[in-house]
Amino acid sequence: MSKINTDAGMPIAITLDPGTYYRCSCGQSQNLPFCDGSHSAAEHMPIEFKITARQKVYLCSCGKTGKAPYCDGTCGVKM
C-alpha cells in the first residue's frame, strides 16, 4: 500500500455497513479515510474494498500494511 499518513501510525477503527468503499491513499481527501475524488492521476489511487456484513474494521493509516486497506499489525499495534 502506498503512503497515507505516516504521522498516524495507528489503525482507524470504524464500523461499516455492507457496501463498496474506497480507501483514500493519496491523503488529499476531505472525507478521510475514504476517497472523495481529490486525487489527481497520480500514483496514489483509492483502494476499493467490499464489506458484506456490518462489521468493525481496522483500516491501515501508516501505509506499511501488506493487507491494504486493513491494518496487519506492521505498525506495532496488536489487535
Residues near ligand FES (CB under 6 A): 10-11, 60-62, 64-65, 71-72, 74-75, 77
Least distance from C-beta 34 to ligand FES, angstroms?
A: 16
Rounded to whole angstroms, the Cα distance separating 50 from 44 reads 19
Rounded to whole angstroms, the Cα distance separating 17 from 28 reads 24
**Which residue is associated with the grid cell 500500500?**
1
22 vs 61 by CB, closer to ligand FES: 61
Least distance from C-beta 41 to ligand FES, angstroms?
A: 25
